Amino acid sequence: MSSVKIFSGKSTQYLAEKIAKSYGKPLGEVTLQKFSDGEMSPFFTESVRGSDVFLIQSTFPPADNFLELLLLIDAAKRASAKYVTVVVPYFGYARQDRKDKPRVAIAAKLMANLLSAAGADRIMTCDLHADQIQGFFDIPLDHLDGTSIFIPYIRSLKLEDIIFASPDVGGVKRTRSFAKFFRAEMVVCDKYREKANEVASMRLIGDVEGKDVVMVDDLIDTGGTICKAAALLKDKGAKSVRAVATHPILSGKAYENIENSVLEELVITDTLPLKDEEKCSKIKVLSVSDLFAKAIRKIHDHESISSLFINS
């Protein structure tokens, strides 16, 4: 069987090191050269001929992160790697998955096309913004579920009157999987946006009186939706409100918004690097490194990854 070699782009090296350690192999060496005008030239400093190469890089802005990943894929294929699996803990541009108004790009589909065109043989990611994005790829895609990270932590809290809440209608399916596991009820915060990153109005569908509420989302950006939903839940009689979100984009005034909110805590993962973790006492980080390391091992051994899903 071909050997496994794990590499990382520059922006996700903090996580790739943990994944490689959990897997039991050292992280491979990549050198990123830049011309004076900013043009990138990444290359491998060790042979990958005949190897199963796993390239780890989240594709969050700036666009250099995505371009570096494309160049690494191309370099691996040209260096005669046997199989190239692209590990994208956070798949950027996934929020642009449809034409919600005239004359806009479907960026998620374009990103999928570019990864395939660069030579990726397989994609591994976690908690896509919308499940249907899997259909944008014409190569195998392994869609890992952050549920297996959060559920053990939520269980450890031993909340007596737990109920789960979706901060918007789009997250109902995700929230229902948590509620089903805990045999609990769920409610929905129905929001209306007039423009991106700004919630115009919100109302609650369901009853949270005297309950310990856990909100579930795939990502948190400015924190506006989560914080407004938490305030609404508190106003409706919730005993406590906390939130779990896989991808901590945390842009704009997110840290300030969370710190000043009624949230007990915000539980996130390390699919994205935190810029100012120390400035927000309410943020708790759980790692996805073991989950990805197990998935890499199973893919290399040609085994099913269904055992990594907690509901299975």
Active site residues: 191
**Beta partners for residue 64, in sequence order:** none
Q: Which residues are annotated as a binding site for Mg(2+)?
A: 129, 168
Counted residue by residue, the chain has a size of: 312
- CA–CA distances in Å: residue 48 to residues 56, 86, 208, 272: 15, 15, 55, 27
Strand order in the sheet with 52-56: 4-8, 52-56, 83-88, 122-126, 141-144
Feature table: binding site for ATP: 37-39, 95-96
Among candidates 33, 29, 32, which has minimal Cα distance to 48? 29
Token digits of residue 118: 């660069």
CA 197 – CA 190 distance, rounded (Å)? 15
Lookup: tokens for 282: 């309410």
Locate tokens 């309950």: which residue?
211
Distance CA 36, CA 184 (A): 57
Taking the C-alpha atoms of residue 4 and residue 42, their distance in angstroms, rounded to an integer, is: 20
Q: 87: which strand partners?
A: 56, 124
Measured CA to CA in angstroms, residue 102 lies from 67, 99, 112, 191 at distances of 27, 7, 21, 22
- Report the run of H or E that residue 13 belongs to, with start and end: helix 13-23
Phi and psi at residue 270, to the nearest 5°: -100, 30
